């Protein structure tokens, strides 16, 4: 099958299927390039007829299908879009476009439980570091109540608890801002995304951590919400308007 295409405003061709695909892979043909073959009533954009493969090292815009360097695209909830296409994709998401939402698969309740357990092991190990001063105080107190310094013990215990919370929060926030997912989620191929796209900021990352604590304080009902929610959202996902999805 032979094809004709438009290059610099001029008709070019004919070329075979394999040659046409090679031109697309090299970047000579982009998604908007008009192509035609015998039997077609009109010229059509290449991307409406073929699935374009982005150039090596590039990512595909979910709207126009063209390949871009990653820094030239914007992360959205359901993929990445070039700067030109971002408003279009956001409007489609707001309108509940199923074809857009279908590009992403939400992480269910149980896989998120496993990811949280992995993160819990990591943060618990870090928390033990802050318990060392409390253990030292307990050792010096011995078994004699008369020698017990309960104010010192209480203050070191409070220090251990507060620093453990801060360390766990920083762990969560740093990985969300820098990587888009905690190590537990990355191991399982998950990532956290904002419903309206964009990178995580420190304020939102910390807010999600404290909202996560609120999910725990509801007797874990906040976590169980993911089991019946259409988009697998927990309480802290709803509060922060985030989603946990499968993705690199």
Q: Model confidence over 126-135: pLDDT tens digits?
A: 777 777 766 6
Same-domain status, 201 and 79: no
Same-domain status, 148 and 236: yes
Q: Looking at per-residue confidence, does 51 or 195 come out higher?
A: 195
How many Cα neighbours within 13 Å face the side chain of 116? 16
Residue 98's pLDDT is 47
Same-domain status, 27 and 135: no
Same-domain status, 135 and 230: yes
Same-domain status, 122 and 232: yes
Domain tally, the chain? 2
Domain boundary among 101, 117, 152: 101
Domain boundary among 101, 127, 154: 101
Same-domain status, 76 and 145: no
Query: pTM of the predicted model, to two decimals?
Result: 0.58
Same-domain status, 120 and 93: no
Same-domain status, 123 and 182: yes
Q: Which domain holds residue 227?
A: 109-246
Domain of 8, CATH number, reads: 3.30.1490
Same-domain status, 121 and 158: yes
Residue 227's pLDDT is 86
């Amino acid at each position: 099958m032979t094809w004709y295409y438009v290059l610099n405003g001029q008709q070019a061709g004919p070329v075979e299927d394999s040659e046409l695909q090679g031109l697309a892979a090299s970047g000579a043909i982009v998604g908007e390039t008009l192509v035609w073959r015998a039997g077609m009533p009109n010229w059509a954009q290449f991307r409406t007829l073929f699935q374009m493969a982005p150039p090596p090292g590039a990512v595909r815009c979910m709207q126009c299908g063209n390949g871009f360097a990653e820094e030239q695209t914007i992360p959205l909830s359901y993929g990445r879009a070039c700067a030109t296409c971002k408003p279009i994709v956001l409007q489609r998401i707001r309108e509940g476009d199923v074809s857009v939402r279908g590009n992403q698969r939400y992480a269910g309740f149980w896989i998120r439980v496993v990811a949280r357990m992995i993160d819990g092991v990591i943060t618990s190990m870090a928390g033990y570091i802050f318990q060392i001063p409390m253990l030292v105080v307990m050792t010096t107190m011995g078994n004699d109540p008369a020698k017990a310094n309960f104010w010192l013990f209480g203050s070191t215990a409070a220090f251990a608890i507060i620093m453990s919370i801060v360390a766990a929060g920083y762990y969560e926030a740093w990985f969300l801002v820098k990587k888009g997912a905690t190590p537990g989620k990355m191991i399982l191929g998950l990532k956290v995304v904002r419903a309206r796209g964009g990178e995580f900021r420190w304020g939102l990352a910390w807010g999600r951590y404290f909202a996560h604590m609120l999910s725990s304080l509801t007797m874990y009902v906040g976590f169980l919400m993911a089991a019946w929610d259409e988009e697998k959202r927990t309480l802290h996902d709803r509060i922060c308007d985030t989603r946990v999805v499968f993705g690199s």
